[in-house]
Structure 1
Amino acid sequence: MESFWDVLWFIFISYLFIAYLMVLFHVIVDIFRDDSTGGFVKALWTLALIFIPFLTLLIYVIAKGRGMAERSMQQAKAARASQEAYIRDVAASSPGARSATPVEQVAQAKSLLDSGAITAAEFESMKAAALGGTRATPVLSS
């Protein structure tokens, strides 16, 4: 490389080649993601991409560009929904993530009363709060 323009030209050509490869791989993935296309047609598109790559790529993007975008959006939505379901599942199964039911709250208060940690008045207050739907923080007597 003898001059600045040779370096600039090399960078430009390299950029175009990398962009071409990215579009090519995206099209190959889309060919096999498309459920409406049969196996024979997928094989023809793939062979055409191997033997006449640039022209086939251009024709595929023009002919199926809208479908490519729709399938890509559907996959992104499915991935997002799957990720959100996983996060909800993990969050729900973590300790302390789920609030106790009123029955569990009364049972906990009864066990505290039986152990002598709270008084009968505090037990009644906690029981009323649990059955009333409000969450009370008991004040433990010393």
Structure 2
Amino acid sequence: MNNYPLLNAFLTMLWFFLWILWFMLLFRVIADVFRDDDLSGWAKAGWVILVCVLPFLGVFAYLIARGRGMGEREARRAQRQEQAFRQYIREAAREEPTAAAATAPAPRSGVDELERLAGLRAHGDISEDEYQRAKDHLLRV
């Protein structure tokens, strides 16, 4: 009745997950080749050809030769995305109110504004200096 023992099922699952891991690694290397601005077009073409023609050798050679920089490039890319996101938030917060905002409910009280500013400072959306200037302005009004 039992034609497929438990050990064979385990080994099949192991090979399946290793296969998935291999493709993830392969795509990660190819993505890193194309995202790297330091590589020339010829170098990118050479790495892609090597990875496509001799995948195991190509991926392992890439990891040995350029593996250390993969993490650094990914960290720099994540920092640039985070900075762009924060800049977008700051610009969106400083935009002039639209017609819909002109019909919005009455403005917040000073306590609400101070609470909002403290939240922005806690999340790092505004600097300490910007927070102090805005707080001084609210307290003077």
After TM superposition, the score normalised by the length of structure 2 is: 0.64
Aligned equivalent of 1:134, options 128, 135, 140:
140
| Structure 2 residue aligned with 1:68 | 70
| Structure 2 residue aligned with 1:54 | 56
| Structure 2 residue aligned with 1:32 | 34
Structure 1 residue matching 2:140: 3-state secondary structure: coil
1:94–1:3: structure 2 CA closer, same or farther, 3 Å change rule? farther
| Structure 1 residue aligned with 2:11 | 9
Percent identical among aligned pairs is 34
**Gapped regions of structure 2 (runs ≥ 5):** 102-106, 108-136
**Gapped regions of structure 1 (runs ≥ 5):** 100-130, 136-142
| Structure 2 residue aligned with 1:79 | 81
Q: How far does residue 91 in structure 1 lie from its aligned partner after superposition? A: 2.2
| Structure 2 residue aligned with 1:22 | 24
Q: Name which one, 1 or 2, has greater alpha-carbon Rg.
A: 1
After TM superposition, the score normalised by the length of structure 1 is: 0.64
| Runs of 4 or more consecutive aligned structure 1 residues displaced over 2 Å after TM superposition | 91-96
Deviations 1:56-94 (A, max 9, x none): 101101110111111111100001111111122222227
Aligned length: 102
Q: Distance in 1 between matches of 2:89 and 2:14?
A: 43
| Structure 2 residue aligned with 1:127 | none
Q: Distance in 2 between matches of 1:94 and 1:16?
A: 54
| Structure 2 residue aligned with 1:138 | none
Deviations 1:5-35 (A, max 9, x none): 1211111111111111111111101111122
